[in-house]
Amino acid sequence: MRTKVALIFGGRSLESDISVITAMQALAVLKELEYEVEPFYLCDGDFYMKDVDRIDAFTPFCKEKHLKTVLVDGSFCSVRKNRLKREFRPDAAFICCHGGEGENGVLQGLLDFNGVAYCSSGVLGSAVGMDKAAAKGIFEQMLLNVLPHVVVFSEDFERDAAAEAERAESFLRYPMIVKPAAQGSSIGIRAAADREELIDAMAVAAEFDDKLLVEEKLTDFAEVNCAAYGRGGKVVVSQTERPLAAGDLLTFEDKYMADGKMSGGGHVIPADVGEINDVVRSVTERVYRAMELRGIVRVDFLVDKTRGKVYVNEVNTVPGSLAFYLFEPLGVSFSQLISDQIEEALERKRKGGKRKVYRTPVLELYGRGAKGAKRGK
């Protein structure tokens, strides 16, 4: 019997379109591997199936043309005449959501609640990984280098922008960079060289998130990324890359729309930073283990070219294209990468089902009136 896989993508996220690309890439491989795969597009809290296996179904997406389902007791069910009809019961879910509820632990919690194995980090790893500020707290506890930073809440900024800018200036030096704390794909990021630009950058970031991260900006640096995934208790660490940017900052356009098309952006593999690659790969494994990550993740770094210092920047728990191209130089094909994830997810579920449940007689005793229950004590 073939393993049934629910391919989940989309979600309420500014990166939803990117997740469609990742999902179509994964879908082609899942079919080649002969899994019984059913794609589900997550939209406004519901899962849509039927004819969501091609990109033109999303330009634009029309709910009425697809079958709406809900996840109930481990099965995707449609609702017809006030009755549930089981449409698909997966053995595992393969998550290709970028950002929002599909990557921040919400979807992961729903799958846990329904007893569905899935190929990504759990609730904790997903939630912390999605929040750049929270992740930096973990990095600091690990004694890893992070850029000096402060957290600004959009509510405080909207109340008194000048005061929040002054607070940032009291801790940080210009130039600075401002980011939404829980967005990806370089969305809402701006650099600032003075007070006026800082307030403008905060205003832009506040349009995308309730929490902002303000950091000191390196002036001569290289971005270096490295991916990893777990298999059989070991962490497989990828080759490194240096993504190429048209300007000083890596933008959404650099990543996904170079040359006016969906190209994924340019990169140098391995990153041309010499022995620093060894440091990056070692720290990637440390972060993967310390944050209890699962599935395929990518850790992003900043390298200060002047001092040769390596800073951990952030974690992506569902990286674009699943970072498959970073594993290929190691001889790990996209097919192997995906099959490893599914087998690992199924194995985690098998092990999890063997945990001992602690049962007590408390309710039976209480029901008999123990400890004065009948007297209302």
pLDDT, tens digit, 9 for 90 and up, residues 109-122: 999 999 999 999 99
Q: Is omega for the bond preceding 175 within 30 degrees of 0, making it cis?
A: yes
Q: Are residues 106 and 186 in the same domain?
A: no
Query: Can you give the pLDDT at residue 262?
Result: 42
Domain holding 192, by residue range, is 148-216
pLDDT, tens digit, 9 for 90 and up, residues 259-274: 444 445 688 999 999 9
The closest alpha carbon to 132, from 209, 225, 219, 247, belongs to 209
Q: How far is 332 from 297, CA to CA, in rounded Å?
A: 15
pLDDT, tens digit, 9 for 90 and up, residues 269-288: 999 999 999 999 999 999 99
- First CA to last CA across the chain, in angstroms? 57
pLDDT, tens digit, 9 for 90 and up, residues 322-355: 999 999 999 999 999 999 999 999 999 998 866 6
Q: How far is 23 from 5, CA to CA, in rounded Å?
A: 13
What's 38's domain CATH number? 3.40.50.20
Q: At what angle do helices 106-113 and 123-130 cross, to 10 degrees?
A: 170
Q: Are residues 235 and 282 in the same domain?
A: yes
List the structure tokens of 34.
């002969």
What's 224's domain CATH number? 3.30.470.20
Give a yes or no: residue 31 inside a domain.
yes
List the structure tokens of 102.
């599909």
List the structure tokens of 29.
């491989």
Give a yes or no: residue 206 inside a domain.
yes
Q: Which residues contact 19 (CB under 8 A, 6 or more apart)?
A: 9, 10, 11, 13, 96, 97, 98, 99, 102, 318
pLDDT, tens digit, 9 for 90 and up, residues 301-312: 999 999 999 999
Beta strands in the chain (DSSP E): 4-10, 36-43, 46-49, 67-72, 75-80, 83-88, 92-95, 117-118, 149-153, 176-180, 190-192, 211-216, 221-231, 234-243, 267-268, 297-304, 309-316
Q: Contact, 326 vs 242, CB < 8 A?
A: no
Give a yes or no: residue 199 inside a domain.
yes
Show the CA angle centred on residue 63, arms to residues 61 and 65, nearest 5°.
Answer: 90
